[in-house]
Structure formats: C-alpha cells, structure tokens
Homo-oligomer: A and B are copies of this chain.
Amino acid sequence: MDKKSIVIVDDHQMIIDGLSRIIQEIPGFELLTTYHDSIEALKKIPIWNPDILLVDLEMPGLNGLELIRRLKQDFPELKTILLTMHLDRATVKEALSLKVNAYILKNLDEFELRIALEKVSKDQNYYSSPVTEVLNSKSRQIQKTSNSQIDELSNREREVLKLIAEAFSTKEIADQLSLEVSTIETHRKSIMRKLNTRNVAGLVRIAIQEGLVS
C-alpha cells in the first residue's frame, strides 16, 4: 500500500512541529509539507495534491473551515482533519456539513491524531468524544435542522442582520426599512435563534465572519 500523503496548515510553528513529529512516528503516512498561512496554503495545496489535509480551525485571514470549504469545491475527494482548541456547536455543525472527515481537539493526546489519521485513511470518519457530546447534548434543541449558519436566514433576516452588524439601532433599522420597531425585534430574535447566539455582539461577529459586512 502506498503511503498516505499529508499536508499540515497551522499558523503556529510549535503545533506544526508537534504534529510533524507524531506523523513521522506513524508508519504509512508521509508528510509532504506544512503551511502557516492559510491563504498561501489554498494556492499551493493543489500542487501537492495530498491525500489528507490536517488543518487548524483558528487561523488569521482564512480560518480552517473556510479553507476546507474552498478546497473541497475543487477536490471533493480530499480527506480533511480539523484541529481545534475550543468547541462550539455551530462550528461542529458547519464542519459536518462540509464533510470534514475528522474533528479533534488540540489539547488531547497524540493518540487522537493517530486514530484519526488511521480512520480517515480507511475512508472512515473520526470525531473525538467531546465533539460528539456537544452535538448530542444540544441535538434535542434543533432536532433536524442542519444549520449551515447564515444560509438558514431568510432574505429579510439577512438584511436586518446586515444593518445590525453595521451598528444601527433597532429604531434606525425600522425607519430605514419603513417597518415597526417590534418587527425588527422579532426578526432579531429569529436571527439569534437561528444563529444560536444570545446578544448582538454574537450577531455582529457572525455577520462579519460570513462577509455580510466588511
């Protein structure tokens, strides 16, 4: 069997070093190269054409999920393993919708990585237990809605979110759209429910993250 080739993308050299060392100790895998800049990685990874992509979630510029989303468009067969420091439900769900093949926490031991690599190379998926816990614990809340964040919003809601993120007050938004304040409040509540956040700060973050406003 051929060795499975790996490319790592993580903005922290220390993490890259750690990962590299672990991978070298696992037979059957070969580390092609590493990137600490996700934008550069996006350009260069097609050239390397690895079997498996090991990518950090939290990165400046382009985060891990966005990187995966764009690469999967052109290379749907690429296996991806997402590394993260903190768990949040929305991200886990988005990762699932992107068919990320493994999702592991950085602060767990290296066996996690080994297992993830071996599973993924056998066309299986792997999610570390805290990840699945997060999903199960909240699954009753939404039942079936596989919310890929902002796509669940209606046009009107997206419009309102945009204005909220531009720091307009509810009254200003109402005036601008010629609607009642209560209507904007209703929309805001719906948006918060759908995006799973409990205050405007969360809304603004997501809106900016999703490029709704710059």
Contact = CB atoms under 8 A, between A and B. Distances in A.
Contacts of A214: 58, 60, 63
Interface string A57-86: 010100100000000000000000000011
Interface stretch (A42-50, A93-101, A150-158, A160-168): A160-168
Interface stretch (A15-23, A116-124, A136-144, A175-183): A15-23
Interface residues of A, number: 39
Copies in the complex: 2
Interface secondary structure of A, over-half rule: loop
Interface in A184-214: 197-205, 208, 211, 213-214
A205 B167 contact: yes
Nearest to A10: B107
